[in-house]
Amino acid sequence: MERIKADDLYAYRFLSEVAVAPDGAHAAFVSRRARDDGKGYYACIHLLDTATGAVRPLTGNGDEAAFRWLDSNTLIFPSCRTGDQPGKTAFYRLDIRGSEAERAFTIPLSVKQFHPLPDGRWFVLTRRPMTPPEDLPADQPQPGRDYTVFDELPFWADGLGMINGTRMSGWIFDPADGSVNQITPPTYDMEGAAVSPEGSRILYWGVSFEGIRPDYRQLMLYDLATGQTRSLVPDRKYRITQVGWWGTDIWFEGGDPHTSVSRSPKLYLLNPATGDCRTFCAPDGFLGTSAIGDMSLGGGKVCAVQGDSLYAVRLQRDVTALLRFDKAGNFAPVASYEGIACFDIIGENAYLAAFRDHRPQELYRQPLSGGEPERLTQFHDAFLETRQISRPEHITFRSRDGQEVDGWVIRPSGYEPGKKYPGVLNIHGGPKAAYGSQYYHEMQLLAAGGRFVFYTNPHGSDGRGRITSIW
């Protein structure tokens, strides 16, 4: 068997955007793989038959990295294909029963997120400058090409690059006449949005600012019928990190913006009709968290509501749990994995892009009643059959104040007892980050080079609640 190599990166599949069709008969998800020309990743949509377990690719253009179910047989997705223009986003409609994808409409914006509305319109998010660039003569220095002015903080974001002077804004697009109308103020930077269950309101969160972005977040509600927007929470009161609808209520995760960003938030229930807001749970940890690694790419749900329950992913020490909450504040784990990238729920099952048995990501079906999951994909079977994988060994030890600390050691490939080997101590950043036991390409590569690999979660790491003292 071969040792892990750097270019094994091209053999991995990175799964994201898991979403189940309304009738539960199918689930779709995005699979990415690294391009061997170094120019990013190929992305395509795959389809799972939930009854038979059969999985097949639906698209093959290489840039289909997001989609929505329009009904139980129809997907819509953005894709760059022949004739598409920069600054515009073409959407395609695809019948999963066998037809070719057909052009549905083109939005005159570079769309980052999109949400269908019941009346046929779309709510979309795009990142763009607050003010249009000045039209300067070609022989003069051009901003963004010849020079850049930084007058905001932050001016850079991982995965986005330069964001100085730009905002994520919200727009209503009408395919009937091609019109787009912005519903957010020019200075508002939106972080996410959710359409209400009946489809008449848009909940969104972010903050309006100039100069330095504050730590607090605003929670806004836009009425599609009246075009009116109102704030749901007092300004400067919450550092909001997760939001969603829970029947007619709104739930959100919020912390105190005047304290450390590492301090655990609380969960709140808000009645948008009355404005009543109450804490319903203080789970001592952040929702949506998982162990850090280099084997996840893309987005998807990390929190979802079904019926009377809220389900959420959360790192709990050395595992990532799928938790179930009720409105009384009770919560309990449904299942635990080495890592969970995203999930969706229908009926009595969750469908997860996750890490288990120390293998790269696969798609799993997890009964909500608990018990063993079923692995539904085999993207990495052939790869694992030909590679030497060094499983991490979980160790614990006591810190100076008596707290138990988690660590891992990976033995060198071909390890021989009694022989000396060099060692590498891999230290994560933070403070709110944490390693786990999931498959990690970098760690495997170091071990394949004949090294011991050590890594730990010191005080201040995620998944341990209020244990925040630093060594």
Q: How far apart (Å, rounded) are the C-alpha atoms in residues 185 and 436?
A: 41
376 and 406 within one domain: no
Is 74 part of any domain? yes
Order of all β-strands in the sheet with 41-49:
14-20, 26-34, 41-49, 55-57
188 and 218 within one domain: yes
**Domain around 447:** 392-457
220 and 190 within one domain: yes
Omega of the bond leading into 129 within 30 degrees of 0 (cis): no
Contact 307, 354 (CB under 8 A): no
Q: How many domains in the chain?
A: 2
For 99-139, how does the pLDDT look when each residue is reduced to its tens digit (9 = 90+)? 889 999 999 999 999 999 999 999 999 999 998 777 778 88
Q: How far apart (Å, rounded) are the C-alpha atoms in residues 254 and 270?
A: 12
Is 58 part of any domain? yes
92 and 120 within one domain: yes
Residue 471: per-residue pLDDT? 39
9 and 130 within one domain: yes
358 and 314 within one domain: yes
412 and 311 within one domain: no
Residue 470: per-residue pLDDT? 42
Residue the block writes with tokens 């695809």: 94
Contact 286, 4 (CB under 8 A): no
Is 462 part of any domain? no
For 267-298, how does the pLDDT look when each residue is reduced to its tens digit (9 = 90+)? 999 999 999 999 999 999 999 999 999 999 99
414 and 372 within one domain: no
DSSP per-residue letters across 140-168: S--BTTTB----SB--EETTTEE-TTEEE
For 39-94, how does the pLDDT look when each residue is reduced to its tens digit (9 = 90+)? 899 999 999 999 999 999 999 889 999 999 999 999 999 987 655 577 899 999 99
434 and 354 within one domain: no
Is 65 part of any domain? yes
253 and 209 within one domain: yes
181 and 50 within one domain: yes
Count CA within 13 A, CB hemisphere, residue 361: 29
Contact 174, 191 (CB under 8 A): no
CATH number of the domain within which 211 lies: 2.130.10.120
Is 226 part of any domain? yes
For 328-386, how does the pLDDT look when each residue is reduced to its tens digit (9 = 90+)? 999 999 999 999 999 999 999 999 999 999 999 999 999 999 899 999 999 999 999 99
| Among candidate residues 354, 383, 412, the one where a domain is terminated | 383
Per the prediction, the chain carries an average pLDDT of: 93
Residue the block writes with tokens 């998800």: 29
Could you tell me if residue 440 is left (phi over 0), alpha (psi between -120 and 50 degrees) or otherwise beta? beta
Is 464 part of any domain? no
**CA-closest candidate to residue 252, choices 221, 214, 213, 297:** 221
Is 7 part of any domain? yes
Residue 467: per-residue pLDDT? 55
Q: How far apart (Å, rounded) are the C-alpha atoms in residues 75 and 97?
A: 11
CB neighbours of residue 374 within 10 Å: 12
115 and 65 within one domain: yes
Q: How far apart (Å, rounded) are the C-alpha atoms in residues 134 and 143?
A: 9
Contacting residues for 442 by C-beta, under 8 A, at least 6 apart: 294, 426
| Among candidate residues 383, 407, 422, the one where a domain is terminated | 383
Residue the block writes with tokens 């963004």: 144
Q: 0.85 cut: is pTM over it?
A: yes
Is 466 part of any domain? no
The 3-state DSSP class for residue 385 equals helix
For 375-417, how does the pLDDT look when each residue is reduced to its tens digit (9 = 90+)? 999 999 999 999 999 999 999 999 888 889 999 999 999 999 9
| Rg, Å, the chain Cα set | 23
**CA-closest candidate to residue 66, choices 43, 90, 89:** 43
Burial class (CB in 10 A: 0-12, 13-18, 19+), 419: exposed
Residue 288 structure tokens: 């949506």
| Among candidate residues 383, 406, 423, the one where a domain is terminated | 383
- Decide which of 125 and 429 is more confident: 125
Contact 264, 281 (CB under 8 A): no
Residue 11: per-residue pLDDT? 96
Contact 169, 187 (CB under 8 A): no
Residue 139: per-residue pLDDT? 81
Q: How far apart (Å, rounded) are the C-alpha atoms in residues 203 and 200?
A: 10
CB neighbours of residue 150 within 10 Å: 11
Count CA within 13 A, CB hemisphere, residue 240: 27
> CA 423, 316, 355, 385 torsion: positive or negative?
positive
- Decide which of 100 and 422 is more confident: 422
